[in-house]
Amino acid sequence: MISSLDSAAQSFLTGLGQIQQRLDTAQTELTTGLAINDVTDAPDQMPNLWQTRSDLVQVQQVNSNLGQVSTEVNTAQSVLQTAVSLVEQAETLGSEGASGTSDAQSQQDLAGQLGSVLQQLVGIANTTVEGRYIFSGNSDQTAPYSIDLTQTNPISAYQGSAATRQALAPDGSTFSISLTAQQIFDSSDGSQNVFTSINNLREALLNGDTAGASSAMSDVQSADAYLNQQLAFYGTVQDRVASATDFGQTYVTELQSQLSGIEDANEAADITNLTQAQTQLQAALESEASLPQKTLFDYLA
């Protein structure tokens, strides 16, 4: 298409359009706070922008997951500390019952208290966090144990499964976060089995078997030491979660800074550009208005 405008008019309109574009860009950046509001604003920066945004979302999700893991691990560590105290209580009760100075009624009473200890330990094994049995391994909707003190073997077989869950750290590494109740309380090694050792002590006292109670005490003490080792596992996991969380928070700050450097507008520069564009636009319009205007008579003269 052939323009009917002369070169001076065309030049004026082109310049006016450029000024208006700078004005619009400055206004948009000041409104959104972003230097990149469209792919065309900085096409060479888009791959870096998209990758940084993706990394930030991923790290924030990992940090959120670590928060949930922290709640679970802290709960496990806390309840296992209580379990250790209960086993120590069982040792005290057993020592009293095996001392040879307790009569039959006292031993019956002590056995009753050991039964209560077992019930509390099973309750700890069945601890839940946010609707999940945290010691049931991957079968976290199933209580790992039940107990019926009227039975010869009062504690049921383990109802859970293996624990294979891993936590993902922001640096990409993974680590185990849990043990099963079977690993903690129901070891295949009888001398380390918390449930079996305390129940054997209980049965000995129920039967008035002082020698048997004295023998059972050795396994209760071994089970106590073993339980403390399982507690130490959760202490190690707590440290790992805390370290991963600290790293994740630092990484988020770093990515947010990178993202800001890519896409954030320079407010001071935008204000300057806006002011200059407004001034240039006003000057251009006033300059154009001050030019002499030709009429048809000028061409007919």
190 pLDDT band (50/70/90 cuts)?
confident
Give 58-71 pLDDT, tens digit per residue: 999 999 999 999 99
CB within 8 A of 264, min separation 6: which ones? 33, 34, 35
Please provide the average confidence, as pLDDT, over all residues in the chain.
84
The structural domains of the chain, ordered by start, are 49-258 (1.20.1330.10)
Least confident segment among 105-119, 128-142, 218-232, 256-270: 256-270
Average pLDDT over every residue of 179-207: 95
- How far is Cα 263 from Cα 42, in angstroms, rounded to an integer? 9
Kindly tell me if the per-residue pLDDT of 33 is higher than 50. yes
215 contacts: CB under 8 Å, gap ≥ 6: 204
Whether the predicted pLDDT of 296 surpasses 50: no
What is the model's pTM? 0.74
> How many C-beta atoms lie closer than 10 Å to residue 244's C-beta?
22
The reported pLDDT for the residue numbered 266 is: 46
Query: At 262, is the pLDDT very low, low, confident or very high (cuts 50, 70, 90)?
Result: confident
Measured between alpha carbons, how far is 81 from 103 in angstroms, rounded to an integer? Answer: 32
- Asked whether residue 1 carries a pLDDT value surpassing 60, the answer given is no
For residue 165, pLDDT over 80 is answered with yes
Average pLDDT score over residue span 114-135: 97
Q: Residue 30: what pLDDT?
A: 54
Tell me what the mean pLDDT of segment 258-277 comes to. Answer: 63
Across 44-53, 109-118, 133-142, least confident range = 44-53
Which pLDDT score, from 0 to 100, does residue 256 have? 87
Of the chain, the percentage scoring pLDDT greater than 90 comes to: 62
